[in-house]
Structure 1
Amino acid sequence: MPGAGGADGDGSAAGAGGAGAAGDHIHPRQPTAPYFDAVLAYGLRGSGRFHVPGHKGGSGADPALRHALGDRALALDVPQDIHGIDLGTSPTPYEQAEALAAEAHGAARTFFLTNGATQGNHALMLALAPLGTRVVCQRNSHASIVDGLVLSGGLPTFVHPEVDDALGMAHGVTPDGLRAALTATPDAAAAFVVSPTYYGMCADIAGLAEVAHAAGVPLVVDQSWGPHFGFHPDVPASALQLDADAVLTSTHKIAGSLTQSAMLHLSASGRVDAEAVARAMRLVRSTSPSSLLMASLDAARRQLAVHGEALLHETLAVVDRTRTKLAATAGLRVLGPELVGRPGIAAWDPLRIVLDVRETGRSGYDVAEALRGAYDGNVELATAATIVLVVGLAESAVALDRVAGDLDETVGRIARHGDARGPVVRPPAAPPSETVVPPREAFLGPAEQVPIADAIGRVSCESIAGYPPGIPALLPGERVTAPVVAYLQAILAGGARLHGASDPQLQTIHVLRT
């Protein structure tokens, strides 16, 4: 299967200034979905299927699976290398689909990802941080960044985000913070940052790009939580519009594609070698990518490019009404635009409803559990101090009205007013741990599982982050210290979860064998 779209249906290059991201026009082909249409045509026309998958378009599938998914979904589950879909005269429907996605997002080249933004981070690390190469990474980056370093053998220098001590929320990296990290790492080959955060807070990407480019390195932005950025004037601009060189967008999180599907966009700057990324992509891509996932990306791109602004306009109006209702609930504080301007926050995404619950006298875990138990309402994230609701591109007004009422009833029932909770447990002062060996050597080296008390002074083979605030307290190759263990135990006792720990209760940990 071709690695990326490089030309649209009439053979012209898919360059910057896309239909949605640039907002200037809609290309005549944006209302089409060439890959989706080609899969649909093959799947439903009754072709002889003497190839994988073995369910043969559904006839060989378990009857319960057929009933649950429907014959149409199974009929569209086709392999790669089907003539007229991803084989044949170039540009094939697959190439056209990636090219249209590049145009819509204002990219020079776009890759469809069927293993989430994780796949893109792995490929970028392999391309930009090969064995022994040093890169600067935001400390609270997604776990796939560290996993990518394990795969590539790259060496990280970490730059810490700004942190709200009271709420335990990690925000973005500041340009000054990135400048200091790059100055301390003159041989860095790239800078990796996150924007927006889980909470919808955006870093100063334009300022970060200026700093990175002045240091001679590309800026890579994990914009997984902002696939809709740039498609409406009241949501933040896309990082591509703000001069980032590579941008990841998890289309499935907000913009309507199927779970596990995402996109990687490269700018026209040339600071990231598209062919090197395509080569690395082949290492981290299945030889049996899901046509359902890729077709959903093609269709989601079409909807975002053609109808995204209108859908967002309607959704934002409902979100504003919901925020007003929630603000009237005693004990809840609705967070958002008032935080813009604080260190690490240059913009805010209104498709994230973030609620400070401390004045209820209960934790975010308590509120989320009570909401789920009474109303089967499930939030995206609960922390000691907050809960986070993620809103989709075309969110149901009925659903938002309902959850506002359900939260009002829930808080009224469980609140302990007058017993406001204090600040959350703060991570140890940076740097939290001493890096002893490269992440790759630690992760792949000889390991043993030991009681946590016996791990002090040993080298961790694990990556462990506590939520909140989501900043890894320990990474492969770092020395386990008493303050780090005490911090992880304290947040665990407070109801937080430990991401990445082989033992979620932190009774044991894997360390390098001595």
Structure 2
Amino acid sequence: MRNPALPQSSAPYADALTAHAREPWLRLNVPGHAADPEAFADLAAFTGEDQLRLDVPPLLDGVDLGADSPRAKALRLAAEAWGARRTWFLTNGASQGNRIAVMALRSLGECLVVQRSVHSSVVDGLVLSGLRAAFVQPGVDRTLGIAHGVTAQDLATALAENPDAAAACVVTPSYFGAVADVRALADAAHAAGVPLVVDEAWGAHFGFHPELPRNALALGADLVISSTHKLGGSLTQSAMLHLGDGPFADRLEPVLERVFQLTQSTSESALLLGSLDLTRRRLATGTDALGRSLRAAELVREQIRDRGRFAVVGDGFAEFPDIVAADPLRIPVDTRAGGIPGHEARWRLMTEHQVLVEVATDSAVVAVVGAGSAPDVARFVAALHALPVTVPPGRGPERPELPVPGEMRMTAREAFFAPSRSVPAHEAVGQVSASTLAAYPPGIPNVLPGEVITAELVAFLQSTAATPGGHVRGASDPEVQNLRTVTPSWSARCSTSCAGSPRRA
């Protein structure tokens, strides 16, 4: 798989695609715009003429086809850069990578030991694969209401309680930049005889600068999902899936390839693929640019500390045993300490200052600095401190508590496909959810298909939805007045008929 003769400074796929686009083709194939900026003037004005020419179909000679094609070379270079045995380019985000991983793990067993605060796409994978989940609860900062990671001891305990586990799945770093001890987690998984899967969506840049944490593959992970478009800087919706060169690789590789073919579009975007090739080159050769980004992020944190109104969430990470490091390109800010809820802060930053941040919870916002970017530090710090005080500084009793997940009575697949109905939210309490709902932060589910809906969950979701800028992903109505639940008679029937399949809350 290695190709040492090809340097990381090259971009074989992007270069071949660019060369192809420069030729005066008479395009009688798809896409239908045929790279004609006159006939499709509105599209050309929207995307730019160069993008029309680069928007080509897959399976082109000289670009995609062949064992030594530019595309194959780009994939080998990516595997080399991240230290993988093999890498796949994805055009439906890291969400696709999570679904591929979980579906492929079905070949190893029937149970997945999984961190409860994983992305909803992992839950999608449970629905698609039918795997039973045994959840490991993450450490939680109850003051701020945010989840972090899991410890190796907790993972080892869960694996010991589930000897039929196919694999262990964790997420690191977290939305807030908390980095787990991947080496210890890998050792725990391997001691139990299973691979470790790491959703490293937020850590695509790890390992490319001495001030950054090492990436999960370098620390013993067997399968890693990388949302390269996040902080890596490729185009939105592009990502990578990396297979480590460990003891499970021979068995996993062929099934991963089959599931990749099952999930990847046959009309994958050349623009997204090309952006992955260029991003790999920039990360592998851009140490100086990364250094500038790291200095900018640290300057923001320093100025926030100096002003004293707000707090930097990462400054408290040392209190948690599940955190061993922090991503320095993440700037998590405790906004309630400065007298404004996180959702409102995010909304006001956008509407009043034209400043966009990545994540908001009731207590915090998270700004991110892309690997290689150089943001206007003064503008962000000034906008943040111009926000009004709308609640008493600190975290008063009015802050909704992060709800503890309800009991898991059905597998995600059973609940997803079971007969269901929409009921008023207050009537849904005690019933089994048929949906995945996520209000904290976008992507991490507060309730899964198969989990019991609690009164605390309903209050949390409705409180989030009522906050300016608040949003509940997966809700059937914006105010979360109704919830979709499994028909009670079906839930009882399934709980009885499936009693031989143990489930963990």
Alpha-carbon displacement from aligned partner over 1:297-346 (angstroms, at most 9, x marks no partner): 00110111111x21111111222222222223342112325523622211
Is the 8 Å Cα contact of residues 199 and 225 (structure 2) preserved in structure 1?
yes
Closer, same or farther in 2 for the Cα pair 1:61/1:320, shift >3 Å? farther
Deviations 1:376-433 (A, max 9, x none): 1111112221111011112224x2222112222x13xx1268643326433344xx32
Paired residues of 1:312 and 1:393 also in contact (CA < 8 A): yes
Correspondence for 1:415: 389
**Hey, what does 2:371 align to over in structure 1?**
393
Q: Contact between 2:58 and 2:267, CA under 8 Å: does it hold in 1?
A: yes
Report what 1:477 is aligned to: 450
Report the alpha carbon displacement of residue 494 of structure 1 after superposing the two structures with TM.
Answer: 5.7
Indicate the SS of the match to 2:472.
strand
Task: Write the distance in 2 (CA, Å) between the matches of 1:482 and 1:323.
Answer: 37
Partner Cα separation in structure 2 for residue 150 and residue 417 of structure 1: 41
1:293 maps to which of 256, 272, 279: 272
Q: CA deviation at 1:50?
A: 2.3
Q: 1:86 to 1:157 in 2, by over 3 A?
A: same
Give the aligned partner of residue 14 of structure 1.
none
What amino acid sits opposite 2:116 in the alignment?
Answer: R
Contact 1:54 1:60 in 2 (8 A): no
Q: CA contact under 8 A between 1:107 and 1:240: conserved in structure 2?
A: yes
Q: For residues 60-99 of structure 1, what are the structure 2 equivalents within 5 Å?
A: 62-88=40-66, 90-99=67-76
**Distance in structure 2 (CA, Å) of the matches to 1:502 and 1:455:** 14
1:426 equivalent in alignment to 2:421 = no
Q: Distance in 2 between matches of 1:232 and 1:219?
A: 24
8 Å CA contact 1:170–1:469 kept in 2: the answer is: no
Per-residue deviation at 1:179? 1.3
What percentage of aligned pairs have identical amino acids?
45
C-alpha displacement at 1:174, in angstroms? 0.9
CA distance in 2, matches of 1:78, 1:213: 43
Q: Specify the alignment match of 1:179 in structure 2.
A: 156
Alignment partner, residue 103 of structure 1: 80
Alignment correspondent of 2:474: 500
Matched position secondary structure for 1:254: coil
* 1:442 partner amino acid: A
How do 1:303-382 and structure 2 match up within 5 A? 303-307=282-286, 309-340=287-318, 342-382=320-360
**Which of the numbers 441, 462, 465 marks the counterpart of 2:414?**
441
Amino acid at match of 2:3: D
Q: Are the aligned partners of 2:109 and 2:165 in contact in 1 as well (CA < 8 Å)?
A: no
Aligned to 2:3: 8
Query: Is contact 2:120–2:444 with CA below 8 Å preserved after alignment?
Result: no
What code does the residue aligned with 1:8 have? N
- Tell whether the 8 Å contact from 1:7 to 1:96 is kept in structure 2 after alignment: no
Per-residue CA deviations over 1:355-385 (Å, capped at 9, x if unaligned) read 1122322212222223223221111112221
* Residue among 223, 235, 238 paired with 1:246: 223
Query: Which moved further from structure 2: 41-50 or 143-152?
Result: 41-50
Distance 1:491 1:292, change over 3 A: closer
Q: 2:145 aligns with which of 165, 168, 182?
A: 168
After superposition, the Cα gap between the structure-2 partners of 1:420 and 1:481, relative to the gap in structure 1 and judged at 3 Å, is closer
Q: Where does residue 120 of structure 2 map in the other structure?
A: 143
Deviation at 1:470, TM superposition (A): 6.9
Contact 1:113 1:262 in 2 (8 A): yes
Query: What are structure 1's unaligned runs of at least 5 residues?
Result: 1-5, 11-27
Q: In 2, Cα distance between the equivalents of 1:271 and 1:128?
A: 11
The one-letter code of the counterpart of 1:501 is A
Task: Single out whichever of 376-385 and 154-163 deviates more from structure 2.
Answer: 376-385
Which string of whole-angstrom CA distances, capped at 9 and with x for unpartnered residues, describes residues 127-178 of structure 1?
Answer: 1025971101111100000001111111111111100011111101111111
- Alignment of 1:122 with 2:99, yes or no, is yes
Distance 1:182 1:316, change over 3 A: same
1:203-282 → structure 2 map (5 Å cutoff): 203-272=180-249, 273-282=252-261
Q: CA deviation at 1:31?
A: 0.9
Which amino acid counterpart does residue 389 of structure 2 have in structure 1? A
1:7–1:91 contact (8 Å) kept in structure 2: no
TM-score (norm: length of structure 2): 0.91
Aligned length: 484
CA contact (8 A) 1:360 1:419 kept: yes
In 1, Cα distance between the equivalents of 2:443 and 2:63? 41
Partner of 2:186: helix, strand, or coil?
A: helix
